[in-house]
């Protein structure tokens, strides 16, 4: 691990000032991902700005939804009665990520900003455009079984690992940010980038910008929602594919829906084509399958992850079918205590 300086600012403005103009500075929250990457030599910040004591841990109900502080621990988020009641999709997604111990350390902001678990990114002996731009992407012809089938480029096929981010993308969350230029909000989807020809840039955040809160708007049909994750083992594993969905059905017809996909792209993937196909359609497995096909028409699987496309189709159809049944939501998958 390379030597670094450590700063503990007194407030958000001081933290932003400490990181401003220093592209080699990093904010430290729970540290569950950053510290690992520093030990591997993947992340080499010269300055750590500790925001643990100044990041809000409040969860508040606003007129339009929930405001969640950036410093809220993932375990606390999933267990909060307000979140469980108002946004059960978010609570479920958080519980599907990591282990109880990690959830009790990891923060909301850190969860959103965690880096890919692509094996080439984490191995400093291998080339990787995300870690060292221009060095190449050996995953395209190598080990890409659990990498992207949507939105990737010739420069990068990595996936975003967060479960929480998938739910927030489905729920149209707004990320509150403070930076050298002042405060702003960034919509989700929109915080995370597709790789394009700059795979080293995971998000649209500028250097020195600090996430201060996440706002989750009220969704009238939030109770009719589900997060379903397929992974290689029962716990502490990243998604092979995942689906965050909410469905509004009346008279057997889909009035509205929210769908986001995980484990399949460089960013949480909002399934806009599937949503458009579903609105006004019959709430039947056949229509759900057509919607899934409309979304997957944009996919470009690689040779060793082509199985993800039919797997994702099946998971999406099953999830929507369950939600369309009058008794097929909420009580069938209760939110657990972390």
| Region of residue 182 (left: phi > 0; alpha: psi -120 to 50; beta: else) | left
266-317 tens-digit pLDDT: 999 999 999 999 999 999 999 999 999 999 999 999 999 999 999 999 999 9
| 59-62 and 269-270 beta bridge pairing | unpaired
Burial class from Cβ neighbours inside 10 Å (0-12, 13-18, 19+) for residue 2 reads: exposed
Terminus-to-terminus CA distance in the chain, angstroms?
33
Task: Give the integer Cα–Cα distance in Å for 92 and 53.
Answer: 27
- The domains located in the chain, with CATH, are 225-324 (3.30.390.50)
> Is the pLDDT assigned to residue 327 strictly greater than 60?
no
What is the phi/psi pair of residue 231, to 5°? -145, 170
The answer to whether the beta carbons of residues 205 and 177 sit under 8 Å apart is yes
218-274 tens-digit pLDDT: 999 999 999 999 999 988 899 999 999 999 999 999 999 999 999 999 999 999 999
119-156 tens-digit pLDDT: 999 999 999 999 999 999 999 999 999 999 999 999 99
The answer to whether the beta carbons of residues 31 and 55 sit under 8 Å apart is no
Q: How many CB atoms lie within 10 A of CB 181?
A: 12
3-state secondary structure 131-148: CCCCCCCHHHCCCCCCCC
């Amino acid at each position: 691990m390379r030597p670094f300086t450590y700063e503990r600012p007194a407030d958000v403005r001081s933290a932003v000032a400490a990181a401003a103009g220093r592209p080699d500075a990093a904010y430290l929250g729970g540290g569950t991902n950053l510290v690992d990457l520093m030990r591997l030599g993947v992340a080499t910040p010269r300055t750590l700005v500790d925001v643990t004591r100044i990041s809000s841990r409040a969860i508040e109900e606003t007129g339009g939804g929930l405001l969640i502080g950036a410093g809220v621990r993932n375990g606390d988020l999933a267990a909060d009665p307000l979140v469980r009641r108002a946004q059960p999709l978010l609570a479920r997604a958080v519980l599907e990520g990591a282990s109880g111990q990690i959830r009790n350390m990891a923060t909301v902001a850190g969860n959103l900003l965690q880096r890919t678990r692509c094996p080439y990114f984490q191995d400093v002996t291998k080339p990787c455009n995300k870690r060292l731009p221009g060095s190449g992407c050996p995953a395209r012809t190598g080990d890409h079984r659990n990498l992207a089938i949507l939105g990737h480029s010739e420069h990068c096929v990595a996936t975003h690992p967060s479960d929480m981010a998938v739910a927030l993308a489905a729920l149209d969350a707004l990320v509150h940010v403070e930076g050298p230029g002042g405060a702003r909000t960034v919509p989700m989807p929109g915080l995370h980038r597709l790789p394009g020809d700059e795979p080293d840039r995971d998000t649209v955040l500028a250097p020195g910008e600090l996430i201060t809160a996440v706002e989750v708007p009220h969704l009238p049909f939030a109770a009719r929602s589900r997060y379903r994750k397929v992974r290689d083992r029962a716990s502490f594993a990243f998604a092979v594919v995942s689906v965050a969905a909410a469905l509004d059905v009346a008279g057997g017809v889909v009035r509205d829906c929210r769908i986001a996909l995980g484990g399949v792209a460089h960013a949480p993937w909002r399934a806009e084509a599937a949503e458009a196909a579903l609105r006004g359609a019959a709430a039947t497995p056949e229509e759900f399958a057509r919607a899934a096909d409309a979304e997957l028409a944009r996919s470009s699987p690689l040779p060793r992850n082509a199985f993800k496309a039919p797997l994702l189709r099946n998971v999406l159809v099953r999830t929507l079918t369950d939600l369309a049944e009058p008794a097929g939501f909420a009580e069938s998958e209760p939110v657990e205590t972390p």
